Amino acid sequence: MASDAPPLFAARQPIFPRRVSGTFRRLKWAILIVTLGIYYITPWIRWDRGPNLPDQAVLVDLANRRFHFFWIEIWPHEFYFVAGLLIMAGLGLFLFTSALGRVWCGYSCPQTVWTDLFLTVERWIEGDRNARIRLHNAPWTARKWRLRMTKWAVWLLISVATGGAWVFYFADAPTLLRDLVTAQAAPVAYLTIAILTATTFTLGGLLREQVCIYMCPWPRIQAAMMDPGTLTVGYREWRGEPRGKGGIRRRKVAAEAIGGGEAAARYGAALDKDSAAPRTSHSGDALGDCIDCHACVAVCPMGIDIREGQQMECITCALCIDACDEVMAKIGRPRGLIDYLALDDRPPTQPGEVADVAAFSGTPAGHVSGAERPVWAPKPVWRHIFRPRTILYTVAWSAIGVFLVVALFVRPDIDMTVAPVRNPTFVTLSDGSVRNAYDVRLRNKHDEARPFLLSLSADEELSVEVQGAADTVVEVPADSTRRERVYVIAAPPDAAAGRERTEIRLWVEDGVSGERSFEDTIFNGRESFDERSGSAG
């Protein structure tokens, strides 16, 4: 029975999406141009930050551990901004998914955008669907080689540009470009470009829909976040079924009245425009609006038939809507047989009934045969989008956004952290005074060096010293952190020298702007002595 054993693998069924035009295709073009434009152009925007800082508007400066975004500069200890943005991105995806389904997948996922770009190139070089199918089945002639090599060359160019643009976010773009072409850039830059070139070419050019079907977890997660009220791309089977080729009975009748088949052909088209007329098959059975032309299948980049219902593969790119609308216009039926719809939005009647179709297209019910039928219209779009669930997501999303913006504007330009040295907690000096040490980090976020003046406020008479310095003024270089060991000393008669702990407050003052910041910490006296530590005698 070996011959009956299932195959180890299934070869990919190649997909040849047909070109389509329409509202959603135009929207996708616009999004493709905007997103790719942002990606390629952003690293080249200049932003003057003075002589000490890079003049690239968006720069992830890994070497100096800074993230520059126009006028905003993020230090590593402010990583919560990034965390907050990631949470916002997550909530944003929840919001869009619960309102509009897999709209991220269909329009702005990089996999979708780059695949779209690669498909455009493919169509431009090898022709539209039918030409590509012929070429696919053709033997490897010189022409096929030429077309394939051209296509792959253009894909490779796009891939290199993709990987190339990525590295510009991590270094000064003009300098790096010069280094790259003169073979002087760091090996990691070339390696990154090579890896991203390979992944772009493979994922965008060769694997395409398989990335979404086999590799990406997001489709499964999103399926769990949609509900019957979510707008998604679907087929109104109650309107389209039973599908089939056929005409309108009245066309026949009218044509016969005028004078036979020739007239029928001539006037048929005009009669088709009457959307209220029912379609029938040639055998006389009532038909739905779907003429089974497979336009929606031909344009699908995932290679599925949307009429089979909701499917894991569907990325809701909405191209089938454009394709079907085009056909509906030609046969004189209202648009929207395939449309953005909610799964719970369907008339409370049997599928295929003409009255509902008419009602849906906005025709007054009385105009349609059978006025006694209930008039039905789908819920307006805003009622799908403004639901408690989406409002909740929006509120959470906005709250984090407001928090981040506020945090961004109230963060100080000078900053200090104080870490008391605990080994030992204090040192007795020969004159009997008690000294505590603190590791103090002073952060200067200005683009120039600033003198930072350290001082102390406490109930006791304590003095403060900076290790190795005559005074307590520390010069902190521009845009950097300075670590200092700071000593706080209590003279013998002072109560703090004996007491176990005294609360003190260390102040730092910017000598130029007068901006102040403080940090509360503890001074340990002799009573904190632990015999085992042996820190005093």
Partner 1 sequence: MADAPKIDEVTGTETTGHSWDGIEELNTPLPRWWLWTFYATVVWGIIYMILFPAWPLVSGATTGLLGFSTRGEVAAEIERVELSNAELTRSLTTVDLAALPANEDLHRFAVQAGRSIFAANCSQCHGAGAAGVVASGYPNLLDDDWLWGGTLEEIAYTVRHGIRNEDLDSRYSEMPPFDWMEDEELDQVAHHVRSLSGLDHDAAAADQGAALFVDNCSSCHGENGLGNRDLGAPNLADAIWLRGGTHEAILRQLNAPRHGVMPPWGERLGEAEVRAVSAYVHGLGGGEAQIADPATDKGAEDAAAVPDATYPARAGETPEEAGADDVAPTE
Residue ranges in contact with partner 1 by CB under 8 A: 1, 4-12, 64-66, 75-77, 207, 210, 214, 421-424, 427-433, 435, 437, 439, 441, 443, 466-471, 474-477, 479-485, 487, 492, 531-537
Judged by CB, which is closer to partner 1: 349, or 428? 428
Judged by CB, which is closer to partner 1: 159, or 481? 481
Residues 6+ apart with CB under 8 A from 260: none
Smallest CA-to-CA distance from 472 within 450, 451, 448 is with 451
Q: Which amino acid is at 293?
A: C
Judged by CB, which is closer to partner 1: 51, or 348? 51
DSSP 501-523: EEEEEEEEEETTT--EEEEEEEE
Question: Is residue 293 within 8 Å of residue 79, measured between CB atoms?
Answer: no
Judged by CB, which is closer to partner 1: 390, or 425? 425
Judged by CB, which is closer to partner 1: 293, or 464? 464
Judged by CB, which is closer to partner 1: 177, or 421? 421
CB of 416 to partner 1, least distance (A): 13
Smallest CA-to-CA distance from 95 within 451, 457, 387, 487 is with 387
CB atoms within 10 A of CB 91: 20
CB of 200 to partner 1, least distance (A): 16
**Buried b vs exposed e over 449-461: b needs ≥16 C-beta within 10 Å?**
bbebbbebebebe
Helix 80-100 with 218-225: angle, nearest 10 deg: 60
Judged by CB, which is closer to partner 1: 77, or 273? 77
CB of 8 to partner 1, least distance (A): 6
Judged by CB, which is closer to partner 1: 475, or 503? 475
CA atoms within 13 A on the CB side of 154: 16
Cα(282)–Cα(246) distance, integer angstroms: 6
Contacts 24+ apart (CB under 8 A), 114-117: 114/158, 114/162, 114/200, 114/203, 114/204, 115/204, 115/208, 115/209, 115/301, 116/28, 116/32, 116/301, 117/32, 117/36, 117/158, 117/204
CB atoms within 10 A of CB 26: 11
Cα(324)–Cα(297) distance, integer angstroms: 10
Question: Is residue 526 within 8 Å of residue 434, measured between CB atoms?
Answer: yes
Q: How far is CA 481 from CA 61, 75, 101, 450, in A?
A: 16, 10, 46, 11
CB of 466 to partner 1, least distance (A): 8
Judged by CB, which is closer to partner 1: 90, or 432? 432
